[in-house]
Amino acid sequence: MVGRGYAIFDTAIGRCGIVWSSTGVVAVQLPEAREIDTRRRIFALHPEAREQRPSKNAELAIEGIVGLLQGSDPDFSNVSLDAGGVPGFNRRVYEYACTIPRGDTRTYHEIAKALGASGAAHSVAQAIAKNPFMLIVPCYRVLEASNYTDRRSPYAGVISKRRLLALEGAHPIASKTLFEVLLPVAPPRVPT
């Protein structure tokens, strides 16, 4: 195979996409609202990729992704990733994310501390937001300090971290309400 290939495949949550090279999986795209939007996202991020029959490595990844989205616990350890364009710090974050057990979560701060960069929680958040290996690298298990679960990455499509965690049986603290996000807490009024 020369260059990069991609394929669109069916899952329990819709049609996902996968991009690969001769080295390994380059990216996983979760479904957008419509398949054409999923394809557009792939083209926007990987314009050089051509639709092809999946490589054996990509097939292994697809099988695991399909299983995970049906609620099983797949083993992605034999799936090769092409992290050639991924910065070193991000790779370390992704390696750590892969060690988080199914159904558990960690915060950005906990990962930064574990990596010996305790002041780098924002950098961890940025790495998680740029994770091209959605589901293979379970970045949805990494949350803000408040366990807020509704952030999305460019590869996440329309599915939220909350839904992915629910598939694993994790129960993070409920997401913030509109009032918590938009309105500051006012001090109680003093009776007059």
Active site residue 139: yes
Catalytic residue among 111, 139, 165, 167: 139
Supply the DSSP symbol for 136: T
What is the distance between the alpha carbons of residues 58 and 20, in angstroms, rounded to a whole number? 7
Pairing relationship of beta strands 25-29 and 14-20 according to DSSP bridges: antiparallel
CB of 164 within 8 A of CB of 140? yes
Length, in residues, of the chain: 192
Pairwise CA distance, residues 178 & 180, whole Å: 6
DSSP assignment of 29-74, as one string? Answer: E---SSHHHHHHHHHHH-TT-EE-PPPHHHHHHHHHHHHHTTT---
C-alpha–C-alpha distance, residues 173 and 160, integer Å: 14
Residue 133 CB partners (closer than 8 Å, separation 6+): 25, 27, 28, 81, 94
* Residue found under tokens 């557009």: 40
Which of the residues are catalytic? 139
